Structure 1
Amino acid sequence: MNKILATAAGLAAFTAALHTFGGTPEIEAPLLQAPLPQEISLLLYTCWHLVTAALTLSAIGLFISAKPKHTVQSHYMALFISFMWIAFGLVFIVVDITYSGLPMLLKLPQWILLIPIGVLGLWGCARLRMSES
């Protein structure tokens, strides 16, 4: 088992659970009660759950890639997922700074979990490559 990828998978699963069970109640009521057209509210709420699916499925993908009998395909899957998590984190940083400034980085700190999981995934992939050499 690639312990680094397994750690990334565990943190990704934790983040997915935090998003689902901690974030959904915090987002659901205000979003669905906001004075927005219903189709906009439902679209944003659907996007919230699309993120839930992406986080959950990527945690599963990282776990599969961490198994000892990894394949070239699982290596590329882990690379893709790792870059995706880094990109998600960078989106938070860019939006926070662009629309509100540096203080928003601490008010929307999701990037603090997203980027390290991606970096751990890349590190785990590098360890896979080194073990194959």
Structure 2
Amino acid sequence: MNSFLVVAAALSAFTCLIHTFLGGRQIAVPLLKATGLSPVPKYVSYYCWHIATIALAAMAIMFAIAAAYPQSWELGWTATGLAVSFCLLGLALPPLKEQSYKAMPQGWLFLPIACFGIAGGI
């Protein structure tokens, strides 16, 4: 059992839960209640919200499988690649859009996942 990938799986699952429950209340619910948005951007954004949920759950599952079955190392590297990509996007976007990390902390959630994924793969 690869303990680094077990931690990456647990952190991914935790991030998925944060996204689903805390983020859902703060982002998805107000998005659906917004009256100033036309239906297409509103529901495409809501659809993307669910894509993120699925991606986070899939990352947790990929890390867990890779942790338990070393021959499935490709899944671990795939999940790590996603975590690194989400981390880089999340760390770059706030300054590019003149937002604070306090308002957009998502990138920081992926940093430890990426680090544990990398450690588990080497």
- Report if TM-score (shorter chain) is over 0.5: yes
The code of the aligned residue for 1:7 comes to: V
SS state of the match for residue 102, structure 2?
Answer: helix
Q: Deviations over 1:108-127 (max 9, x none)?
A: 1111111210111010011x
The code of the aligned residue for 1:106 comes to: K
Superposition pairs of residues 1-133 of structure 1, within 5 angstroms: 1-34=1-34, 35-67=36-68, 69-71=69-71, 74-100=72-98, 104-126=100-122
Determine which structure has more spread, i.e. the larger CA radius of gyration. Answer: 1
How far has the Cα of 1:22 moved from its partner?
1.2
Separation of aligned partners in 1, 2:3 and 2:28: 36
Separation of aligned partners in 2, 1:18 and 1:116: 15
Separation of aligned partners in 2, 1:28 and 1:7: 28
SS state of the match for residue 75, structure 2?
Answer: helix
Separation of aligned partners in 2, 1:27 and 1:59: 22
Q: Which runs of 5+ in 2 are unaligned?
A: none
Identity of aligned residues (%): 33
Separation of aligned partners in 2, 1:13 and 1:122: 17
How far has the Cα of 1:50 moved from its partner?
0.3
The TM-score with structure 2 as length reference comes to: 0.93
CA RMSD in angstroms, aligned pairs only? 1.2
How far has the Cα of 1:28 moved from its partner?
2.1
Q: Deviations over 1:64-93 (max 9, x none)?
A: 0001x321xx21221121121111011112
Structure 1 stretches of 4+ moved >2 Å: none
Separation of aligned partners in 2, 1:78 and 1:23: 26
SS state of the match for residue 85, structure 1?
Answer: helix
Separation of aligned partners in 2, 1:116 and 1:49: 23
The TM-score with structure 1 as length reference comes to: 0.85
